[in-house]
Each structure stands twice: as C-alpha cells, then as structure tokens.
Amino acid sequence: MRTLATILGLCLVLGCNQKPPADTVPPAPGVDPRNTNYQGGAGTVQNVRKAGMRAGALNDHDQLGKFIELQYAETGKMPTAAEVKEYIRRDAPKLVARIEDGTIVLTGTKDHAALWAYEVDADKAGGVGLQAGKARRMDAAEVQQLLGK
C-alpha cells in the first residue's frame, strides 16, 4: 500500500510522461492569428494568452480613442487615418506600429458616432472595436453592420 502511494505521489509530481498541453493551435481558417477573439477548441493555454492580448488590444483602442478625441476637439472634425497616425507618431510609437502592421485598422470615418477602428479580422471573427471613442468587444456581425457591409 505504501509503495502504491509512493508511485502515485511520484506520478503526480513528475507528470508520468504526460504530454504538455498544446501551446498553440492554428487559428480558425481565414482569421489572422493577431485577432484576440475567443477561439473555441484552442485549449486553456491559448485562450489565456488570447485574454491577455485582448486586454492589451482594449487598452490600445482606448488610448487611440483618446488621441482621436483630442484631435477632434482641436479641429472640430474627425481626422483621417493619415492624420491620426501623424498626430500620435511622437507620443505613441507602439500604437503607430500596430496601425502600420495592420493589427489595428483605422476606418477613416467622418462620422463621430461611427466605428473609428477595429482589430484585424474583427469583421470576420469578432474582436475589439472603437466606436464613438469607446473601446469594447464586438461580434463580427456588429462590426460588419457598423462598417456598412
């Protein structure tokens, strides 16, 4: 009995040659891996990683919304995508890099109440969007509706 308990204890501590959980799972077909939306069947490790990325994406969109609101307050009109990038280039270079590499898509809307930006493939799989200065999670149908698709 004592031997069995010892073996069981060692198996628990050493893991009994169990394979570690898959660290990465390929994204859904046609969805960019930088999209932070929950992916069913991806496993715990991957979805925890995505949750962390999602928090960062929400923060990035929130920061972007503040910069756009400041520019809107200064000029009285919605800035173009190029004006947004130029406006934030000095103060938020990491945010500019995310825009330039396509992780964040600026819509260039002239409507203050519309969708200003969204993360890559949010129109296909859902994700983080920035509407009227508020960053939040959106499903794909909502992003498509706001984009007029």
Would you write out the chain's pLDDT as a tens digit for each of its 149 residues?
677 666 666 555 555 554 444 444 444 566 766 666 666 666 777 777 777 888 889 999 999 999 999 999 999 999 999 999 999 998 999 999 999 999 999 999 999 999 999 999 899 988 999 999 999 999 999 999 999 87
Residue 111 in any domain: the answer is yes
Residue 19 in any domain: the answer is no
Residue 18 in any domain: the answer is no
Q: Tell me what percent of the chain is helix, strand and coil, each rounded to the nearest 5.
A: 50, 10, 40
Residue 3 in any domain: the answer is no
Distances (CA, A) of 127 to 30, 34, 55, 96, 115: 15, 10, 11, 19, 13
Residue 94 in any domain: the answer is yes
Query: Looking at the 3D structure of the chain, how many domains does it have?
Result: 1
Range of the domain at 120: 42-147
The predicted model scores a pTM of 0.72
Q: Which residue in the block uniquely carries the two structure tokens 């938020």?
A: 92
Residue 89 in any domain: the answer is yes
> Residue 44 in 3-state DSSP?
helix
Residue 21 in any domain: the answer is no
Q: Which helix (H) or strand (E) holds 104?
A: strand 104-106
